[in-house]
């Protein structure tokens, strides 16, 4: 089998620099976001400050995450002098202020809760570990000690001889398009949401297994802005794919009321990974969305 070789990259911004023109005060650049909370630019500080108020408890139901998870419920308790908490992902570009809620008469502490999302592009440490930092705040501005909560970003293992993945970070409708090697055919054999198999058009009598073996799209995420929270699409070849040149494009079907969508395309084969990243804006939604649509993101030879 010939190794996977990159021919060239288009729009190959690294994830860390895909901020584009997003407003840094809006929280759109943050990997960790809290619905309805106040956003403050700048990474959360985990060093010691005042000895109180204290964060006394954090509840997450479980500490497992997957890239792009939305609606993750997190709650906890803080000392009786607290009026809010400061929370952020360690190393992120900002942090969030969440007000406390009810007084717990049993523990004499205030409760808080919020719903959070994690970008599909969230960086993680060894073993997929990410650290959330919580700090309680008093009305006069005292900031208590940091309470660190470790969570595990579970990167799904997709099996296949060749896997081409698209992930993005907001609730937009992006579509993955992959042109397969044409073997000299006049037409283009393209896998996308309206042709999710690599079987050539007009194929008669093919079995389901034959369709899967020819390469297939696993999911059309956020289709028509029906938000599923997955924000990931994969074209998978379970066995040896056709040899030749592959062209991968990203079509911004709709931003679904979002301002931007940062995305990354990755190709996995022969223990190698190649990627290209970029950002979709409203301009990208104005182009046609049929066969052949989208920004050319990655080209490689297999």
Q: What is the pLDDT of residues 98-143, one digit of tens each?
A: 999 988 888 888 999 999 988 878 888 888 899 999 999 999 889 9
Instruction: Let me know if residue 242 belongs to a domain.
Output: yes
Residue 191 and residue 86 in one domain: no
The CATH number of whichever domain residue 68 belongs to comes to 2.60.40.10
> Is residue 74 over pLDDT 90?
yes
Residue 74 and residue 209 in one domain: no
297, 278 Cβ separation under 8 angstroms: yes
Of 214 and 7, the one with more pLDDT: 214
Q: How confident is the model at residue 253 (pLDDT cuts 50, 70, 90)?
A: very high
Residue 186 and residue 292 in one domain: yes
Instruction: Let me know if residue 65 belongs to a domain.
Output: yes
Range with lowest mean pLDDT among 7-16, 96-105, 171-180: 7-16
Helical segments of the chain, H only? 208-213
Residue keyed to tokens 């288009």:
10
pLDDT tens per residue, range 269-297? 887 888 898 999 999 999 999 999 999 99
User: Distance (Å, rounded) from C-alpha 216 to C-alpha 234?
Assistant: 8
Instruction: Let me know if residue 25 belongs to a domain.
Output: no
Residue 165 and residue 263 in one domain: yes
Residue keyed to tokens 């037409």:
187
- Tell which of 100, 125, 153 closes a domain: 153
User: Distance (Å, rounded) from C-alpha 295 to C-alpha 174?
Assistant: 11
Domain of residue 106: give its range: 32-153
> Is residue 18 over pLDDT 50?
no
Residue 223 and residue 281 in one domain: yes
Instruction: Let me know if residue 24 belongs to a domain.
Output: no
Residue keyed to tokens 């993101």:
297
Residue 137 and residue 221 in one domain: no
The rounded radius of gyration (Å) of the Cα atoms in the chain is: 22
Q: How confident is the model at residue 26 (pLDDT cuts 50, 70, 90)?
A: confident
Q: In angstroms, what CA-CA distances link 221 with 150, 179, 253? A: 28, 19, 11
How many domains is the chain built from?
2
User: Distance (Å, rounded) from C-alpha 301 to C-alpha 181?
Assistant: 9
- What DSSP character marks residue 210? H
């Amino acid at each position: 089998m010939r190794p996977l070789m990159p021919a060239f990259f288009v729009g190959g911004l690294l994830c860390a620099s895909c901020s584009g023109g997003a407003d840094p005060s809006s929280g759109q650049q943050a990997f960790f976001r809290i619905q309805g909370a106040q956003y403050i630019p700048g990474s959360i500080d985990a060093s010691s400050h005042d000895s109180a108020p204290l964060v006394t408890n954090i509840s997450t139901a479980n500490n497992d995450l997957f890239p792009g998870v939305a609606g993750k419920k997190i709650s906890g308790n803080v000392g009786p002098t607290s009026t809010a908490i400061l929370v952020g992902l360690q190393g992120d570009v900002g942090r969030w202020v969440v007000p406390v809620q009810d007084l717990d008469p049993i523990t004499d502490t205030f409760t808080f809760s919020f719903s959070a999302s994690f970008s599909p592009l969230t960086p993680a440490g060894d073993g997929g570990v990410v650290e959330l930092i919580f700090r309680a705040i008093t009305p006069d501005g005292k900031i208590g000690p940091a309470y660190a909560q470790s969570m595990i970003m579970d990167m799904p293992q997709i099996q296949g001889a060749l896997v081409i993945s698209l992930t993005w970070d907001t609730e937009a409708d992006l579509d993955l398009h992959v042109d397969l090697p044409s073997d000299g055919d006049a037409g283009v054999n393209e896998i996308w949401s309206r042709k999710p198999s690599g079987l050539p058009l007009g194929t008669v009598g093919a079995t389901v297994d034959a369709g899967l073996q020819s390469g297939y799209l696993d999911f059309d995420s956020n289709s028509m802005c029906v938000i599923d929270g997955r924000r990931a699409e994969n074209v998978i070849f379970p066995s040896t794919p056709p040899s030749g040149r592959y062209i991968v494009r990203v079509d911004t079907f709709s931003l679904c009321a979002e301002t931007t969508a940062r995305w990354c395309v990755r190709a996995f084969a022969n223990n190698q990974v190649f990627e290209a990243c970029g950002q979709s804006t409203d301009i990208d939604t104005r182009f046609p969305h049929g066969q052949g649509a989208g920004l050319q993101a990655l080209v490689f030879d297999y």
